Structure 1
Amino acid sequence: MPTDHSRALLVRRKTVLSLMLLAALTAASVHAEETAPTPVPHTAPIRQMAPTMGWNPWNAFRTEVTEDKIIAIAETLNRSGLKAAGYRYINIDDGWWLKRRADGRIIIRTTMFPSAALPDGETSFRPFTDRLHAMNFKVGIYTDIGRNVCSQAWDAKSPNLPTGSQAEREVGSMGHQTEDMRLFFGEWNFDLVKVDACGLADFGPDRPYVKNDTYRALKPAIIRGRPDLSDINGVESLYRDLKAAITQVRPNDDVILSICTWGEADVARWGHKYGQQWRTSADIRANWASMLHNFDTAVSGITATPSGRGNDPDMLEIGNGDFDVRHLTEARAHMSMWAIIGAPLILGSDLTKWSQDLIDIAGNRNVIAVNQDIAGRPRVISSDARIQIITRPLSTPGTQAVALINRGANPQTASVNRAQLGLTATSEVTLRDLWLDTTQKLVGDVLTVTLAPRETFLVLITTQP
């Protein structure tokens, strides 16, 4: 049964949606201080797959996450129906490590993950991953491509930073790629790894926490915003070698490598060679402007990738800030925009506090189906500061999804005509509103819709193939 909110939206939609005949629209080297390992070539193509769906704790808890919180999220995904809708990856982020031992093995912070404490004094994530696998989830872990990790540079007050000597605090993968990947995907049996790159950008000799010998200096290979000063080939080679190390453990290519260089180091050119997804921007924030910025970086990279997929504008902020229960229009728009470009759908909120409205938005099967369809590449029909229109062909012949996006704070009218959508003048066209799940015929040559501030109209357009 539709909720009161859905009925209100339907009434409003009927008053603002008009289908009418209109005129056409007018439209520095990474290895400078250490010897580089011999590269292991990885030439196998990355298997094409639907965008990843799941949950990550960073936006909700940063480094102050616990095993109990993660299990509570998994139970909520199960109970709410979101797991059944496709959200199956439970990922951990920064903060899980205590130190790296002299023999190279990483010790897990057992105050955060008590199940990791084994009777023999060792630590292992295997009890944790086994528990989530038994619940029919996939499980992801986090590391950095450098020697150190992002929290060590940006979360100095975190209670969960690595401890010990300077060497023991080097928990990133540089110099340990083979042993870490064997640990992650062999012994611990994870299914995904998110590999950040703060270790290549934020530990130069000028940093205060490097000057005081807290961390060892590493000449930056990534200079944010300055690809001309970055060691692009060096960065790529590290991710290439890490992918090769993963392949040695799991040669059937069932592991997801999520590359997180925030759009730096020309990742749009090489990311598809090694990973299933790659970040296109800095971390998302829970506000409309940040969401638009991250979305735009992913849209601009669509044509730069062979498959038109993999561009990751970061996690969904549904449930947080401008996208919380008081801002359902914005939450639906956020979900629609990630869906139309085939971005990973990784929830980043405390789901245990969600209302049914938020669950319904994240779990909308119509919208998720658009996101998970791997048939076609998104195409921007038109875009300006107010209105953006994006279409994407789907696997069913004669079907495409179209998003009409109001980017601003005022009501706007958006229109798209048959020619822009590749439709013939005489074909019968069916329009299905994917949020209201209502269907009607296109009358005339132009689809026109009045959009509320920050509203996105996501429609499925079907015609004879």
Structure 2
Amino acid sequence: MRRLLTPLALGLVASHAAIAAPAAQPKLAGVWAFDSAPSYPGVTLMKIENKAGKPTGTVTTAWYGAMDMQNLVVKDGVATFELRNLNDKDRPTRQWTATVKDGGVSLVGDIWYAHVEQQGRPGTAADAKARAFTTTSLPPMGQLATDGLAAKPPMGWSSWNKFGAEIDDKTVRAMADAIVAFGLRDAGYVYVNIDDGWQGERGADGVLRPNAKFPDMKALADYVHSKGLKLGIYSSPGPKTCAGYAGSYGHVAQDAKTFAEWGVDYLKYDLCSGEWFYADADTVQRTYYEMGAALRATGRPIVYSLCQYGRFDVGAWGRQVGGHLWRTTGDITDDYPTMARIGFDKNGKAELAGPGGWNDPDMLEVGNGGMTKDEYLTHMSLWAMSAAPLMMGHDLRDTGVEVLKILENREVIAVDQDARGVQGKAVRKDGATEVWNKPLADGSVAVALFNRGDKAARMELKAADAGASGLAGVRDLWRGVDLPAGEQAFDVPARGVVMVRVKGG
């Protein structure tokens, strides 16, 4: 016999069913928009969807575009995933979480130097469209012929070491004035280079404008040129520069044309956010080739500085992509340990340098105050012996007498600028001491006796150091005096140097 339930019983059953049913779980699938984001990495959008029963997702950032979520797991309103981490070989990925809360989403994670905590809202199709990142493709690799520029290592001044991104038109003009007033132009320093921090926004036409600190870049170039100097500028193959300004991603040919129209003579092209897009030898080479070809297409002679920190044996292909100098290392800082590590150990393969293409161990710190006089003498000597570009990095208006003597020493500069273009290297090492030589165009040899130790050292100059059987003439380049012919010994101060030019005999 079928049993009928009374209304009360029906109510109890319904109530029990409601209690027993699992609560609806918050959903992460869909689009999430982030309206307020820190500058780095600048997450603007997150998208999670199911494909063939498996969750997939992306996090879109201002710096790196759409970043794929790796090892994504979604459970109970929480997504855990990894994003590829940059500049950290020990931790190539970092953990992130996205948690639904109060109708929104909380995104937490780490990348490079930044810890990210952002709050997002449910996004719309319009949000997804407006915040979508447009990727571009690279051209196939080509080979650019040499163009005759940078027959000697470029010399000049760059803004970054002293001013960082806090640079403006007035300061650049003041640096140009100081180069002339202090006689530095006549010593060979001719480039006035604006590093990161000059960029503004792109117009509807895609053309990049300078920011308010640089009201008229063409007028600035004209001013620098009127002083007998040349103007340099800075960009990145990525969407953002290292300081977070607009890079050349998707606008390479357009930016090259703009630089040429302004009258730019030198471009430093810094990988920065391009590290996300171009992470292997093939793509890094092709992105630098893309800009190299674009610069050539302008018809204006522009020295091209490749700044990708020495990756993928850059000296072996730098010329092919149109480069005239290429960084061999990460950034220099104004302290002896960093400078010495770069100068002695990270200055590139000597056989790959020469007229038209130079290993670049980064800018000079002479004058910024973080090292002693002897340490700065070592710095300048190392760069000269390495045939390195000489880009001053201090406030030229504050150039003291001792700093000027270092930077303007014509005999040391002549070693760097020697027409033969040989990069010097160590020929003898003994504990904390090293002896380097650099053959010169007139048949003489520059020899540097470096003491890397913390105590003064007695060092001998031997004929073999110059590849000779004897020494007919010895010239002390820092003291500016001729010394007796033949082998001799020197007391080299801690972290100091003796640099000579010798003739065999």
Q: Same fold (TM over 0.5)?
A: yes
**Gap regions ≥5 residues in structure 1:** 1-28, 117-124, 153-161, 163-170, 202-218, 223-230
Greater Rg by CA: 2
Alignment-derived partner of residue 205 in structure 1: none
> Does the 8 Å CA contact 1:308/1:378 hold for their aligned counterparts?
no
Partner residue of 1:226?
Answer: none
- Residue matched to 1:137: 229
Instruction: Give the Cα–Cα distance (whole angstroms) in 2 for the partners of residues 91 and 391 of structure 1.
Output: 31
Please state if 1:463 is matched with 2:463: no
1:435 equivalenced with 2:482 (yes/no): no
Q: 1:378 aligns with which of 409, 418, 424?
A: 424
Partner of 1:261: 308
1:36 to 137, 162, 172: 137
**CA–CA distance in 1 between the matches of 2:65 and 2:458?**
50
Instruction: Tell me the C-alpha RMSD between the 2 structures.
Output: 2.3
Deviation readout 1:13-43 (Å, 9 max, x if unpaired): xxxxxxxxxxxxxxxx999983424347343
Q: Counterpart of 1:302?
A: 350
Letter in 2 for 1:177: V
* Equivalent in the alignment of 2:98: none
Residues 269 and 305 in structure 1, CA contact (< 8 A), matched pair in contact too: no
Aligned pairs (5 A) from 1:242-261: 242-250=291-299, 254-261=301-308
**Post-superposition shift, 1:309?**
5.5
Q: In 2, distance between residues paired with 1:293 and 1:128?
A: 36
Give the letter for the 1:191 counterpart.
Answer: D
Q: Where does residue 339 of structure 1 map in the other structure?
A: 384
| Aligned residue-pair number | 373
Which of 163, 180, 183 lines up with 2:258 in the alignment? 183
Instruction: Return the offset for 1:384.
Output: 5.3
CA apart distance, 1:304: 4.4
Question: Does the CA contact (< 8 Å) of 1:298 and 1:312 recur in 2?
Answer: no
SS in 2 for 1:82: coil
1:53-64 mapped onto 2 (5 Å cutoff):
53-64=155-166
Deviation at 1:261, TM superposition (A): 0.5
The answer to whether the aligner puts 1:221 opposite 2:278 as a matched pair is: yes
In structure 2, C-alpha distance between the alignment counterparts of 1:393 and 1:87, rounded to whole Å: 23
Q: Work out whether 1:319 is the aligned partner of 2:391.
A: no
Residue identity opposite 1:71 in structure 2: R
**Which residue number corresponds to residue 128 of structure 2?**
none
Q: Return the match for 1:85 from 187, 205, 213.
A: 187
Matched residue SS, 1:150: coil
Range 415-424 or range 364-373, more displaced = 415-424
Say if 1:103 and 1:269 are closer, same or farther in 2 by CA, change over 3 A.
Answer: same
Change (3 A) 1:341 1:91: same
Which has a greater percent of strand? 2
1:126-167 CA-partner distances (Å, limit 9, x unpaired): 111011101111110000021211012xxxxxxxxx4xxxxx
**Larger RCO, structure (CA 8 Å, separation 6 or more):** 1
Q: 1:188 to 1:86 in 2, by over 3 A?
A: same
Describe the superposition over 1:278-336 as per-residue Cα deviations: whole angstroms up to 9, x where unpaired: 1111110000001011113444422345769611111100012333xxx2222222111
Distance 1:452 1:245, change over 3 A: same
Query: CA, structure 1 residues 144+389, in 2 after alignment: closer, same or farther (shift >3 Å)?
Result: same
Aligned to 1:418: 463
CA distance in 1, matches of 2:209, 2:302: 22
Shift of 1:243: 0.7
Distance 2:456 2:376 in 1: 17
Residues 356 and 374 of structure 1: CA distance in aligned 2, closer, same or farther (over 3 Å): same
Q: Which has a greater percent of helix? A: 1
After TM superposition, list the pairs within 5 Å mapping 1:161-180 onto structure 2. 162=245, 171-180=246-255
> Which of 296, 301, 324 is matched with 1:276 structurally?
324
1:410 aligned partner, one-letter code: K
Query: How much does 1:173 deviate?
Result: 1.6
Shift of 1:65: 1.2
Whether the aligned pair in 2 keeps the contact of 1:297 and 1:313 (CA below 8 Å) is no
* Cα distance in 1, alignment partners of residues 65 and 472 from structure 2: 55
- State the match for 1:452 in structure 2: 493
Say if 1:331 and 1:420 are closer, same or farther in 2 by CA, change over 3 A: closer
TM (normalized to structure 1)? 0.76
Task: Note closer, same or farther for the CA distance 1:267–1:133 as it changes in structure 2 (3 Å cut).
Answer: same
Relative to structure 1, is the Cα distance of residues 383 and 322 closer, same or farther in structure 2, using a 3 angstrom cutoff? farther
Shift in Å, 1:240: 1.0
Please tell me whether residue 198 in structure 1 is matched to residue 272 in structure 2.
Answer: yes
Gaps of 5+ in 2: 1-63, 68-133
The counterpart of 1:147, out of the listed 219, 229, 239, is 239
Q: Which amino acid aligns with 1:184?
A: F
Q: Structure 1 448/272 Cα, relative in aligned 2: closer, same or farther at 3 Å?
A: farther
